[in-house]
């Protein structure tokens, strides 16, 4: 007995029940829980027969037979019912259920499960999707289309090659940063619009730190120009993103050199805790201060102009980093860390981690360089906020980043090498 085939049959049975339950709950006149379960099992049997008898015609013939039954059922429905439901959702779901059942046998079982569960979820959220679409405004559609154009049309066709002095300017990588900025703006806008203001600003900070805290800084600094009253909220989001970015650095170190993590982790965690406390204080201040309670929707969530400006600045910093590496070499690691940290903390973190892994650099010196690169990135983001944002934003960023940078410098300077996990 092949228990693998029995498991496949059980999976098909469960997926059929799941999708059929949703369709029956939706009062589908064509198929319910029993029919969808039988269709899923039919797909699995078609896969078994095609595989065991090595006959490529069994599967398509049974698929055509199922399609014919669905067409006949719709024809009868039109003739019998006065106002029949002419939608095709149940019919397409039935054909997909058959295909999933066959794919569980002939293809990747995990992928088949993912597709089946995703289909059931998509069917379940029908009303919510319709409500979401009905609430979209013209500028919402414009933002979605703008993001789709720059990410799915322009980005793939740009050359993934380096050009210019020091051979570091990569059009695709630079455009990828622009895509991230516009994507963050659009995502933050929809989180704010459909989830709520307080949850929206927290989510934007966390997502910004996971994806690009620099992009988050540019996006929110630009928003303060039109509405100065949101400067404190913008500073909060930027600070949260920066704190999450430091947490991401610790994860990267743990993945590359887990054996060195006890030496490196503690001072970085101290810096992260300080930034987290700053964020908590700012969030309490935002909730307490009633004049900051209103964060208006942006006129254009897909602000391409500020994203393009950042892309140009990013390219300029890439040239500066290459110049520093060329001039100072590998010995001036502190200088390289400061300059590299301006544009990409991840790159310098992974580079230093590889040096520590190969014992070319001590872990004690390594965490200091990584933290220095993170502090350098804070300085760069502070400058960006000053260029693109309001004076009120600069005041709050100077306060939050100033505390974080001061604490970080003292950690690098005074932290005893014997203090570690």
pLDDT of 59 over the 90 cut = no
For residue 129, is pLDDT > 50? yes
Overall average pLDDT of the 66-91 stretch: 71
The answer to whether residues 338 and 380 touch, using CB atoms and an 8 Å cutoff, is no
Reported pTM: 0.57
pLDDT at position 188 is 62
Of the pLDDT bands very low, low, confident and very high (cuts 50, 70, 90), residue 232 is: confident
Looking at the structure, do residues 48 and 145 belong to the same domain, yes or no? no
Confidence of residue 296 (pLDDT cuts 50, 70, 90): very low
Say whether both 51 and 145 belong to one domain.
no
The count of structural domains within the chain is 2
- 113, 132, 151 — which closes off a domain? 132
**For residue range 308-336, what is the model confidence (pLDDT) as tens digits?**
776 776 676 567 646 665 676 555 678 87
Q: Let me know whether 212 and 301 are in one domain.
A: yes
Closest CA to 356 of 271, 420, 266, 262: 262
CA angle, 141 as apex, 292 and 227 as ends, to 5°? 20
- Kindly state the greatest CA–CA separation across the chain: 85
Average pLDDT over residues 403-419: 91
Tell me whether residue 354 is in a domain. yes
Q: Does 154 share its domain with 109?
A: no
C-alpha–C-alpha distance, residues 312 and 310, integer Å? 5
Facing residues of 169 across strands? 163
Could you tell me if residue 83 is inside a domain? yes
pLDDT cut 70: percent of the chain above it = 75
What's the mean pLDDT when you consider all of the chain? Answer: 78
Is 292 in the same domain as 208? yes
Q: b or e along 90-105 (b: 16 or more beta carbons within 10 Å of the residue's beta carbon)?
A: bbebbbbbbbbbbbbb
pLDDT at 173: 74
Q: Please state, in angstroms and rounded to a whole number, the distance separating the CA atoms of residues 289 and 178.
A: 34
Decide if 182 contacts 213 (C-beta within 8 A).
no
Domain end among 102, 132, 162: 132
Same domain, 226 and 85: no
Among 132, 164, 191, the domain-final residue is: 132
Domain residue limits at 28: 3-132
> In terms of domains, do 237 and 374 share one?
yes
Pair 290, 165 in one domain:
yes
- Give the mean model confidence (pLDDT) for residues 46-64: 85
């Amino acid at each position: 007995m092949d228990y693998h085939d029995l498991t496949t049959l059980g999976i098909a049975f469960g997926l059929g029940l799941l999708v059929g339950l949703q369709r029956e709950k939706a009062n589908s006149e064509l198929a319910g829980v029993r029919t969808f379960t039988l269709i899923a099992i039919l797909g699995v049997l078609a896969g078994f027969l095609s595989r065991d008898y090595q006959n490529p015609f069994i599967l398509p013939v049974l698929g055509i037979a199922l399609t014919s039954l669905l067409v006949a059922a719709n024809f009868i429905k039109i003739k019998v019912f006065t106002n029949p439901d002419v939608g095709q959702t149940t019919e397409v779901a039935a054909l997909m259920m058959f295909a999933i059942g066959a794919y569980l046998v002939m293809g990747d079982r995990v992928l088949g499960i993912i597709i089946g569960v995703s289909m059931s979820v998509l069917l379940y959220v029908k009303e919510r999707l319709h409500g979401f679409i009905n609430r979209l405004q013209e500028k919402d559609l414009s933002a979605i289309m703008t993001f789709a154009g720059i990410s799915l049309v322009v980005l793939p066709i740009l050359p993934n090659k380096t050009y210019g002095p020091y051979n570091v300017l990569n059009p695709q990588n630079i455009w990828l940063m622009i895509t991230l900025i516009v994507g963050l703006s659009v995502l933050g806008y929809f989180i704010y619009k459909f989830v709520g203001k307080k949850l929206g600003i927290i989510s934007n900070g966390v997502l910004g730190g996971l994806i690009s805290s620099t992009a988050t800084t540019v996006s929110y600094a630009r928003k303060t120009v039109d509405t100065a009253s949101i400067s404190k909220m913008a500073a909060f989001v930027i600070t949260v993103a920066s704190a999450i970015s430091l947490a991401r650095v610790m994860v990267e170190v743990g993945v590359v050199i887990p054996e060195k993590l006890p030496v490196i982790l503690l001072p970085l965690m101290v810096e992260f805790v300080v930034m987290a406390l700053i964020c908590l204080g700012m969030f309490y201040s935002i909730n307490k201060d009633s004049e900051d309670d209103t964060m208006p929707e942006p006129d254009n969530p897909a602000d391409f102009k500020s994203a393009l400006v950042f892309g140009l600045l990013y390219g300029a910093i890439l040239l500066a980093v290459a110049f520093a590496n060329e001039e100072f070499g590998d010995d001036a690691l502190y200088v390289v860390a400061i300059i590299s940290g301006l544009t990409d903390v991840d790159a310098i973190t992974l580079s230093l981690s590889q040096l520590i892994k190969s014992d070319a650099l001590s872990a004690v010196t390594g965490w200091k360089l990584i933290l220095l690169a993170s502090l350098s990135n804070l300085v760069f983001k502070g400058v960006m906020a000053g260029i693109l944002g309001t004076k009120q934003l600069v005041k709050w960023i100077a306060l939050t980043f100033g505390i974080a940078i001061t604490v970080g410098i003292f950690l690098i300077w005074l932290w005893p090498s014997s203090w570690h996990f």
